[in-house]
Amino acid sequence: MATTNDLKNGMVLNLEGQLWSVVEFQHVKPGKGPAFVRTKLKNVTSGKTVDKTFNAGTKVETSNVDKRTMQYLYNDGTDFVFMDPDTYDQIPVAPEVVGDAAKYMLENQEAVVARHDGNVLFVELPASVVLEITYTEPGLQGDRSTGGTKPATLETGAEISVPLFLEQGTKVKVDTRDGSYLGRVN
C-alpha cells in the first residue's frame, strides 16, 4: 500500500483487480478546497489510457512488477522466446503480449520484459532501433529536394515511410513507439 503522495511515473497500481501503470501525475493544491492528485493511467494488459483523480493522501494498492532486461532469441512459430542474460532462463511470450514491438525486434536484441506473478505483462523496446532497408523503390533524380516520402520494407518485415533519397541496404533509425523514420545511420 502507498498513498497518492508517493506516486511516481512507471509505478504500477492495482485498482479494482486490474493493473494500471502511472504515465504522469500532478499534485494540485487549489486555493479553495482540498488538495488532489490528477493522474494519467495506462492499463498494463490492454494499453487503454484513462485520466483519474484521487484525493491527496488516499491509499492506493501498488503491485510489484518485475521489469528485467532480456534478450530476444527467436520466434518458435507460435511464441517469442526471451532469455534472462543472468540466469539463462528462457521464457516464451505470446504474440498478443509482444504486440507491435514484434515489427522492430531482431534476434539477440535486448528488450525490457515486465512480469507479475509469473505472467508476462508487456515487452518494452528501446525508444529507437537501427534497422536495414531490405526493399524500396529507387529514388528518381531530382527527387532529393522535394521532401517527399516513399514506402520501405525493413529487415524485420515492417513497412515505414522514408525520404525519397534512401536506397536499399541503408541503415535507418526507427522510433519503436510510432514507427516513424528518425534518420539515416552510417
The CATH number covering residue 13 comes to 2.30.30.30
Nine-digit cell at 62? Answer: 501498488
Cβ contacts of 86 within 8 Å, gap of 6 or more: none
Whether 27 and 48 map to the same domain: the answer is: yes
Whether 70 and 120 map to the same domain: the answer is: yes
> For residue 97, what pLDDT is reported?
86
Cβ contacts of 180 within 8 Å, gap of 6 or more: 160, 161, 174
pTM above 0.85, yes or no: no
CATH of residue 111's domain is: 2.40.50.140
Give the end of a domain, one of 60, 79, 104: 60
Whether 111 and 140 map to the same domain: the answer is: no
> For residue 181, what pLDDT is reported?
93
What is the mean pLDDT, run by run of 10 residues, along the chain of 186 residues? 87 90 92 93 86 92 90 93 94 90 92 88 89 87 66 93 89 92 90
Cβ contacts of 172 within 8 Å, gap of 6 or more: 130, 131, 132, 133, 152, 154, 160, 162, 166, 181, 182, 183, 184, 185
Site of grid cell 517469442:
80
DSSP state of 32: S
Whether 17 and 52 map to the same domain: the answer is: yes
Whether 181 and 147 map to the same domain: the answer is: yes
Whether 145 and 163 map to the same domain: the answer is: yes
> For residue 91, what pLDDT is reported?
93
* Number of structural domains found in the chain: 3
> For residue 141, what pLDDT is reported?
59
Whether 158 and 133 map to the same domain: the answer is: yes
- Closest residue by Cα to residue 124 from 44, 60, 183, 186: 44
Whether 135 and 177 map to the same domain: the answer is: yes
> For residue 113, what pLDDT is reported?
92
Whether 55 and 17 map to the same domain: the answer is: yes
Give the end of a domain, one of 12, 33, 60: 60
- Domain extent, residue 82, equals 66-124
Whether 40 and 8 map to the same domain: the answer is: yes
Q: What does the chain come to in residues? A: 186
Whether 56 and 12 map to the same domain: the answer is: yes
